[in-house]
Amino acid sequence: MAVCIAVIAKENYPLYIRSVPTQNELKFHYTVHTSLDVVEEKISAAGKAMADQRELYLGLLYPTEDYKVYGYVTNSKVKFVIVVDSSNTSLRDNEIRSMFRKLHNSFTDVMCNPFYNPGDPVQSKVFEGMVSGMMVQVS
């Protein structure tokens, strides 16, 4: 269950960002922004073999005292960042991967929509629904 999910475009501006505890949005935005550096570092380190699924999933980018940040990059340099709460029962790596997979699939569907211009903010209800399903349920 994620606390914050962000989709960042190739040019490193957010296409979609959503956090559950809306009051801490700015904090999460900042966290995601800083995580981009780590993502870039990992991408460049990967170098060859770009198409490997493994490479798409970047894994734990960096942990802080409160939460962990996971990264995932697509072949088109669109990055997904998931922030999960550390106090949460530690999600297994597979779960994180499945979350990223779902994100990727939904994002692909959004991309397939001819009415979506790449680079626009993602406003698809289906996408939002899927993200809501992945977020921590906060009453």
Partner 1 sequence: MESLTLSDGEQRYYSDLFVYCDTDNTKKVASNGRVLDLFRAAQLPSEVVLQITELCGATRLGHFGRSQFYIALKLIAIAQSGLPLRVESLNSVKDLPLPRFVVGKNEAEARHAALYQEADSQGIYPGAGVIPRPPGRGLQNKKVTPVVPPVVPVHEVIQALAPASEPQCMVQPDSTSPVVSPHQSPPTSPHSWRKHKRQASGGSSAADRPPAVATAPAGVWTQFREAPTVPVPVPGDGMWSAHSPPPPPVQETWVSFTADTPPSSAIPAMHPSSVQESTTVRTVASAATTNEIQRQSSAYDDPWRITDEQRQYYINQFKTIQPDLNGFIPGSAAKEFFTKSKLPILELSHIWELSDFDKDGALTLDEFCAAFHLVVARKNGYDLPEKLPESLMPKLIDLDDSAEVSEAAVDVGYSGSPVEVTPNKSPSMPSLNQTWPEMNQANEQWETFSERSSSSQTLTQFDSNIAPADPDTAIVHPVPIRMTPSKIHMQEMELKRTGSDHNHPTSPLLAKPPELSEETKLAASLKFVADNAVGEGYSSSDSYTSDQEPITRQRSHSGTSPEALKVVGAAPPPPPPRPHPSHSRSSSLDMNRSFAAGAVAGQPQPGAIAYPPAVPPRPLPTQVEKPPEGAGPLRTVKSDGPAEERTPTSLNSAKGASGPLAPPPKPVRRRLKSEDELRPEDEPHGPQRSNLIAAVLATQPSIPRSIGKDKKAIQASIRRNKETNTVLARLNSELQQQLKDLLEERISLEVQLEQLRPFSHL
Binding residues vs partner 1 (CB under 8 A): 109, 112-116, 123-126
Contact 1, 138 (CB under 8 A): no
Looking at the Cβ atoms of 88 and 132, the one nearer to partner 1 is 132
| C-alpha closest to that of 29 among 9, 45, 60, 8 | 8
Q: Least distance to partner 1 from the beta carbon of 76, Å?
A: 15
Closest to partner 1 by CB, 7 vs 81, is 7
CA count, 13 A, side-chain hemisphere, 39:
26
Task: Return the number of the residue (61 or 103) whose C-beta is nearest partner 1.
Answer: 103
Rounded least distance, CB 126 to partner 1, Å:
5
Residue of 131, 82, 96 lying closest to 110 (CA atoms): 131
Residue 109: CB minimum distance to partner 1, A = 5
